[in-house]
A = this chain, B = another copy of it.
């Protein structure tokens, strides 16, 4: 039998809605509102004054201090060099581990943290990678899973950028499948209260310069995955090597390397106490992925701004700026749309995160979509530059190369598609 919908309406449509109506006041339909291409869907309306101030601080720092390191000197990208001082500067500004409360951290909202990340990646995805590893993976991981002692020992100096951290999960043969990891931790044969770790990790951002290495390993006795904080200066010679991986074709402004552990002794006190299995690293990755969803939008926005400027200045065929051509305008319209949508989605998940309502699959969704769209659109925008795109002085090629890596790391796009597919259908399609 059909429910008495009409009665419903009397009670629910009429009465309570008046309440909504009064709060929204008279709508100003006639007032023309100007469109701002830098914020096409008005996302700035969603941020608090504090969040906007934090964003401004981060943007100022990144544009004024970080950008010149890529642009003028071009050391970073061309020579695959990472200036460790950047982390110290960010530390001074309170940008590292910013969502953490206490331990010298700023304790800001997840959205504020997202806005910082977007500012950093507006400059370069490699810088953002270095920043994410320090903030989300290492500091976030210690905050979530560390003992009180571990937190007090590491967080303050990590927050200042005096210690550099890295996060060792991925292994050479198990990129998308960390469950098959081979790195193993055994009770130390002689040193009591110590484990000894052996194995290899690869594609580890910051590893060659890291002081603290968060490494995930399987316990020999039960095969359970546990997390360890390895202090480089405590490792006997020959037990820890972190050779850099050179000649990368993307993320060249971040430093990447391996972690090679050869019976490396680590005190039990440096093991995370409770977390077992993949829940630990996956939780850290979730935070990092959330940041990537924000960061890639910054890179895309920078690509849009640069393309718009180039298209307005570049003249072809009867002195028309190429920005006047339909095929160019469509590219800009598409990219702006995806950037605006991506920011809204990242904001939404930031809010849910702080309310404890963010499911991991939500983060899979925004990480995947924002990386995919940033990559696709930046590639299309690159076409607007014609031959000049090949010169690194126009920056667009750097973004394209970087964004490919963001699409593939911390869960390749297809892997997240299958995570979502499983969540939607209840069925596993990985094999």
Contact = CB atoms under 8 A, between A and B. Distances in A.
B358 A33 contact: yes
A156 to B, nearest CB: 14
A238 interface: no
A425 to B, nearest CB: 4
Interface string A93-108: 1110011010000111
Contact of A332 (B358, B421, B430): B421
A263 B324 CA distance: 36
A401 B203 CA distance: 21
Contacts of A29: 144, 283, 356
Interface stretch (A160-168, A215-223, A228-236, A337-345): A337-345
A141 B104 CA distance: 57
A102 to B, nearest CB: 10
Contacts of A404: 379, 382, 389-390, 397, 400
Contacts of A266: none
B341 A245 contact: no
Contacts of A93: 5-6, 8-9, 13
Contacts of A324: 425, 427-429, 431
Interface stretch (A42-50, A190-198, A294-302): A42-50
Nearest to A107: B21
Contacts of A409: 387
Interface residues on A, range: 35 or more
Say how many copies of this protein the assembly contains.
4
Given A413-B383, A431-B320, A420 B176 contact: no
B41 A316 contact: no
A377 interface: no
B365 A417 contact: no
A391 B248 contact: yes
B425 A332 contact: yes
A2 B51 CA distance: 21
Interface in A243-272: 245, 247-251
A20 to B, nearest CB: 5
A308 B341 contact: no
Contacts of A428: 324
Interface stretch (A59-67, A146-154, A181-189): A59-67
Contacts of A311: 425
A130 B338 CA distance: 30
A226 interface: no
B247 A78 contact: yes
A13 B417 contact: no
A157 interface: no
Contacts of A382: 404
Contacts of A390: 203, 248-251, 404-405, 408
A2 to B, nearest CB: 5
Nearest to A361: B35
A306 to B, nearest CB: 13
Interface string A67-97: 0000000100010000000000000111100
13 contacts: A9-B57, A13-B94, A16-B49, A20-B112, A42-B358, A45-B357, A175-B387, A247-B391, A326-B326, A329-B418, A333-B421, A336-B365, A344-B344
